[in-house]
Structure 1
Amino acid sequence: MKRRNSRQDAIRELVRGKSIRTQHSLVQELLALGFSCTQATVSRDIADMGLRKLPEGIYVLAEDLHLQRMLSEFVVSVLRAENLVVVKCQPGTASGVAAAVDDADLAHALGSVAGNDTVLVVVDDAERAASLQSLIDKLSSTR
């Protein structure tokens, strides 16, 4: 059971960090991380975890679907300064975007503050902030 949980944690990170389009590419990414698994195993994990495919063909976590909708509709740009991620939004939409970021319970995101058209997300370190910036950029550009 421990192996399955750690594999699913790895899948969660891969799907959030990269644009995964096929089960085969997910198997290859897992193999590169040291997980020995088949496409059938990954298929079961996808079903267990509730992964969905966006119309663009990218896998997304079920819990990220609301976040993806908010980001793709309202985000204009994403910038990063060290451990801070700045999300520029359409006027009047930042509080909704910040709520979606908070609700997604993203690992290492400590919290967010919203103004009228800007969301500031504080992340626990710069490397993880870069990953969060990449995730937000990926989810917001799937229009």
Structure 2
Amino acid sequence: MKKKRHEKLIEMIQNNVIETQEQMADMLRAEGFDVTQATVSRDIRELRLTKRSTPDGKHKYVIIQDDAGMNDKYTDVLKAGFVSMDSAQNILVIRTVSGMAMAVAAALDAMEFEEVVGCIAGDDTIMAAIRTNEDVQIVMNRLNDLLS
């Protein structure tokens, strides 16, 4: 069932402008799939979906393609969604544009910073677990370099 759902999700993304997880879930339900928001969120991460800007200023889900320029694409996602960041000991809290936290977290995970243990994303906030308190500053500096 998961494979069929993923195939349908890819087809829907290629043929429609899907801006939100809720819209994605509604479309899957209309196709006969019994999904929750958590299922859709997992599918987004497993399929490596991200949001891209459209010419009219909206954002839509797209499939990240593997190629040599992926770090540039991840940086583009960071730049498009990043608002601010702050730390609380070994936790890095990143604020994003509304609806972009999942895409920015996926980009951060894909960059494979050795200091980042993992990320949890909501709608506009990411909590990244960093190995040590000292590593937080290293990650923040690297992100600032990427964003400038």
Which TM-score tier does this pair reach, normalised by the shorter chain? Answer: 0.5 to 0.7
Q: CA contact under 8 A between 1:78 and 1:136: conserved in structure 2?
A: no
**How far, CA to CA, are the matches of 1:82 and 1:63 in structure 2?**
30
**How far, CA to CA, are the matches of 1:109 and 1:134 in structure 2?**
13
Paired residues, number: 81
1:135 match: 142
Shift of 1:63: 5.5
Taking the TM superposition and a 5 Å limit, the aligned residue runs for 1:20-35 are none
Gaps of 5+ in 1: 1-61
- How many percent identity over aligned positions? 25
1:67 match: 74
Shift of 1:73: 1.2
Shift of 1:86: 0.8
**How far, CA to CA, are the matches of 1:72 and 1:102 in structure 2?**
15
- The partner residue of 2:122 within 106, 115, 122 is 115
2:22 match: none
Shift of 1:83: 0.8
SS of 1:134's equivalent?
helix
Q: CA contact under 8 A between 1:83 and 1:126: conserved in structure 2?
A: yes
- The partner residue of 1:84 within 87, 91, 101 is 91
**How far, CA to CA, are the matches of 1:109 and 1:63 in structure 2?**
19
1:29 match: none
Structure 1 runs, 4 residues or longer, greater than 6 Å off:
none
TM-score w.r.t. the length of structure 2 is 0.51
1:52-96 CA distances to partner (integer Å, 9 max, x unpaired)?
A: xxxxxxxxxx66322211111110101111111111000000000
- The partner residue of 1:94 within 97, 101, 119 is 101
1:17 match: none
Higher RCO structure (Cα 8 Å, ≥6 apart): 1
Greater helix percent: which structure? Answer: 1
Gaps of 5+ in 2: 1-68
RMSD of aligned C-alpha atoms? Answer: 1.8
